[in-house]
Amino acid sequence: MTILETETTGATGGSRSTTFGGPSFRLRLLGFAVAVGAVALLIARFDTDIWRAQEHLREGFEAIKAEKFYFGVNFRVSLRKLSSSLLDYQLTGKSSELETVKRESLELKDWLHAKQQSFISPEEREAFEHLQASYDTFLAQISPFTRTDVLPQARREGFANAYEQIRQDYRPVLQACDEVVQAEHGSFDVFLQNSEKALGALQRILVMSVLLLVALALAVAILVYRGMIAPLQAKLTESQSIIARQEKLASLGALGAGVAHEIRNPLTAIKFRLFSLRKSLPPDFSNNEDVEVIREEINRLDHIVHDFLQFARPAEPDLVRVPAERILKGVIELLKPELEPSAIELKLEVLHPAWVQADTAQLKQALINLVHNSAESIGRQGQVTLRLTRGVANLAGGGRTAAVLAVVDTGKGIPAEVQKRLFDPFFTTKEGGTGLGLAIAARIVEKHGGLLRYKTELNRGTIFEIVLPEVKDHARQDTVD
């Protein structure tokens, strides 16, 4: 039966409560920690992706430096400068001019070699290798103009031809340089596109990170509220309600106990007078229907006063060590003949033997009240099982092993509207009932340091459980019949 499970620790009512530090709270706390850890790992993954994207952009910008974009211009200037130096040597024939030509050609070659690592893409490398090959060809073609055995007059006379030849020789080099520039521009366009994509992805990741952080903050707020604040508020409200109700019941009990005591004295006198009157009257008159009604109603009033006094002024239990099975057997022996006319089977089921410290008489009274309620729920032809088992319960402010004395019936179950007032004193659904049976049972269980709880399902039955601390030390086993 899993429709409802309610606990109560006294006669003031039942409640569904969650204990801080209990299994359910620890489970929620563990789930919260796992959720926070998972979100933190996800955010860490996003941060890693962001770092990688930033590193990629940094590497890309490191690879493309400012002078790379001016490579073509610088190369053209250097090549023209080399050509001018070569033409100057062609006119003057000075050895210093020749040294300048050799130095500038070597510097340009070294500069090309140094720039080789700046060209990364296959297109750039191919164009750059073509440029190097063209430059080497150019140097080979101009080598005749650097000869030292040619007379100055011959050089000057052939200057026009030399000028035209040099222009034709370095023209393929300039074309190769243009190819390198075009490859650079193409690679830079691709880099810009990739950078834009990376930045877009980076922005999306940042937005997702912010959203996840907001969601995490909301989840933390909700979990903290539901796991800690809401239960505290509910517990505070419940405690205030219980305190107010107990104050009212205490006042009612004090007042009612005095009134009941005052009613009981004249009620006893009326009962005695009625008994004397019936003895003095003729048999036919003493068995009159009116006299019987008066006698039954007086007995009913006496029963109500007795129950109310027991509820208002409960006796302190005389606790002794006793096997719980013995108490259940005593209840069965007492009630089995009473239930047999209604075809209600009363049976015992011991799953785990247990010892408790209890007032046997008071605990039997609580169980008798529960069995009577079960029999009323069944009506005719059913089964009531007194079951003994062990479990773990939150008793005396902490979890500990406990003996569970259960009354299991096959009755109609308890409707939802009745459950709300199930432990209210004087609330009853039985004709002629006092509404104090469950309240008295709960008071007795409370005095024993235990709790009374129930599970119910309509048309399936109800289970009432008396949960008491289990006695572990059996060295001295004081028992009572």
* Residue 425 belongs to a domain: yes
Residue 401 phi, psi dihedral angles, 5° rounding: -70, 145
Total count of domains within the chain: 1
The residue among 411, 440, 408 whose CA lies nearest residue 423 is: 440
At residue 318, the pLDDT reads 86
Residues of the chain with pLDDT under 70: 1-26, 28-29, 32-33, 46-47, 50, 53-69, 148-157, 242, 245-246, 248-262, 264-265, 281, 283-289, 306-315, 397, 425-427, 429-435, 473-481
Note the maximum CA span of the chain. 179
Listed residue (343, 359, 364) closest to 407, CA to CA: 364
Distance CA 432, CA 248 (A): 25
Three-state DSSP class for 408?
strand
Q: What is the domain range of residue 458?
A: 318-469
Task: With respect to residue 208, please indicate whether it lies within any of the assigned structural domains.
Answer: no
Token code pair at residue 319: 């606790």
Positive or negative, the CA dihedral 359, 363, 364, 369 is positive
Residue 36 forms part of a structural domain: no
Decide if 336 contacts 346 (C-beta within 8 A). Answer: yes
Q: What is the Cα Rg of the chain in Å?
A: 52
Q: At what angle do helices 437-447 and 360-378 cross, to 10 degrees?
A: 150
Do the domain assignments include residue 381?
Answer: yes
CATH number, position 373:
3.30.565.10
**The pLDDT value given to residue 351:** 93
The tens digit of pLDDT for each residue in 314-357 reads 668 888 999 999 999 999 999 999 999 999 999 999 999 999 99
Task: Give me the pLDDT at residue 154, please.
Answer: 61
Q: What is the pLDDT of residue 9?
A: 43
Other Cβ atoms within 10 Å of 380 Cβ, number = 9
- Asked whether residue 125 is assigned to any structural domain, the reply reads no
> Does 406 fall in a domain?
yes
pLDDT score recorded for residue 330: 92
pLDDT at 354: 92
Q: Dihedral through CA 21, CA 25, CA 27, CA 31, nearest 10? A: -120
Are residues 390 and 470 in contact, defined by beta-carbon separation less than 8 angstroms? yes
In a domain, 417, yes or no: yes
Q: Which residues contact 53 (CB under 8 A, 6 or more apart)?
A: 198, 199, 201, 202, 205
Residue 383 included in any domain = yes
pLDDT of residue 68: 58
pTM over 0.85: no
CB neighbour list of residue 203: distance below 8 Å, 6 or more residues apart: none
